[in-house]
């Protein structure tokens, strides 16, 4: 999921990318964001397969449409709707926060297309790094501080999780387990149901029909618990819809837009 720092090809949330430099940012500090403005209008967030079990307690987990599906945690059922944050971008209730969100504003990126080396970069438009009076030093005596090394390790772990996620999705595709998803939700007092499409999900019928050796392999490599977490999470679609109704964020259309996969 690493993305080259090209403004025209940035992953969601990121408006710009700069490499973290011991020269340019020698006296900079990092401070935690007390709000996530970037989440207010974001209805779907990329998720790694490592997170399925933890995330399935709070979010419906689906796969984006297209030939290169990406797992997504749904924070709303319609584009521009997020039922988990308030108007200021603060979490309404304690929930599991996907690593993709926690990684922001940092990102490992290839600075040169001809090199496989990844460098730690950040979004300079985020109010998390700068010449602050308070916060964690990014550099100490010209070298990365403990805080920066921890950030780098987190980003490296995220990259590795992203590779495992890619392998997981490829196995799903190889077994032909993904199908176009659809959910119909009937709201009381409304004669027409709200129908949501534009995503993929695991086909339970095909899962049940898999050969024994394929199922055994999926059990041994840890895929089955991840698949079940995804399937169990789908029941939360109606809870998210109910939150949209409760908060007055009713969809204006009866078909959800296709969720776009982040650029890899």
Question: Tokens 């995503």 sit at which residue?
Answer: 199
| Beta strand residue intervals within 135-182, DSSP E | 136-137, 139-140, 143-144, 178-180
pLDDT tops 70 at residue 262: no
Q: Is residue 257 part of a domain?
A: no
Res. 253 pLDDT band, cuts 50 70 90: very low
Rounded Cα–Cα distance for residues 241 and 24 (Å): 46
Q: Is residue 2 part of a domain?
A: no
Domain that holds residue 213: 7-246
pLDDT tops 60 at residue 61: yes
Rounded Cα–Cα distance for residues 256 and 82 (Å): 13
Rounded Cα–Cα distance for residues 213 and 221 (Å): 12
Q: Is residue 236 part of a domain?
A: yes
pLDDT for 211 equals 92
- Residue 35 CA from chain centroid, whole number: 17
Question: Which helix (DSSP H) or strand (DSSP E) does residue 169 occupy?
Answer: helix 146-174
Q: Is residue 261 part of a domain?
A: no
Q: Is residue 264 part of a domain?
A: no
pLDDT for 124 equals 94
Q: Is residue 177 part of a domain?
A: yes
Rounded Cα–Cα distance for residues 58 and 237 (Å): 10
Res. 8 pLDDT band, cuts 50 70 90: low
pLDDT for 188 equals 74
Name every residue whose Cβ is closer than 8 Å to that of residue 231 and which is 6 or more positions away in sequence.
Answer: 201, 202, 204
Res. 6 pLDDT band, cuts 50 70 90: very low
Both tokens assigned to 14: 């990121």
What percentage of the chain reaches a pLDDT higher than 90? 75
Rounded Cα–Cα distance for residues 113 and 121 (Å): 15
Q: Is residue 253 part of a domain?
A: no
Count of domains forming the chain: 1
Model confidence pLDDT, tens digit, residues 67-120? 999 999 999 998 889 999 999 999 998 999 999 999 999 999 988 777 778 899
Q: Which residues pair with 19 in a beta bridge?
A: 121
Q: Is residue 180 part of a domain?
A: yes
Model confidence pLDDT, tens digit, residues 111-125? 877 777 889 999 999
Res. 259 pLDDT band, cuts 50 70 90: very low
CB distance 230 to 199 below 8 Å = no
């Amino acid at each position: 999921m690493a993305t080259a720092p090209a403004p025209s090809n940035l992953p969601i949330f990121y408006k710009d990318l700069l490499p973290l430099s011991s020269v340019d940012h020698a006296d900079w500090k990092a401070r935690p964001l007390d709000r996530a403005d970037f989440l207010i209008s974001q209805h779907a967030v990329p998720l790694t397969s490592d997170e399925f079990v933890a995330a399935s307690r709070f979010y419906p987990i689906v796969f984006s449409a297209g030939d290169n599906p990406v797992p997504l945690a749904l924070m709303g059922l319609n584009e521009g709707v997020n039922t988990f944050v308030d108007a200021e971008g603060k979490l309404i209730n304690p929930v599991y926060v996907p690593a993709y969100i926690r990684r922001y504003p940092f990102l490992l990126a290839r600075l040169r297309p001809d090199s496989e080396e990844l460098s730690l970069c950040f979004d300079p438009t985020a109010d998390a790094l700068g010449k602050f009076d308070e916060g964690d030093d990014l550099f100490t005596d010209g070298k990365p501080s403990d805080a920066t090394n921890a950030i780098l390790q987190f980003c490296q772990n995220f990259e590795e999780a992203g590779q495992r996620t890619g392998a997981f999705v490829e196995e799903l595709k190889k077994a032909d387990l993904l199908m176009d998803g659809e959910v119909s939700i009937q709201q009381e007092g409304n004669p027409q149901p709200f129908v949501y499409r534009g995503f993929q999900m695991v086909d339970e019928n095909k899962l049940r029909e898999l050969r024994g050796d394929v199922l055994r392999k999926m059990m041994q490599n840890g895929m089955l618990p991840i698949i079940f977490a995804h399937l169990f999470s789908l029941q939360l679609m109606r809870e998210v819809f109910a939150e949209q109704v409760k908060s007055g964020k009713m969809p204006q259309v009866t078909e959800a837009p296709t969720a776009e996969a982040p650029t890899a």
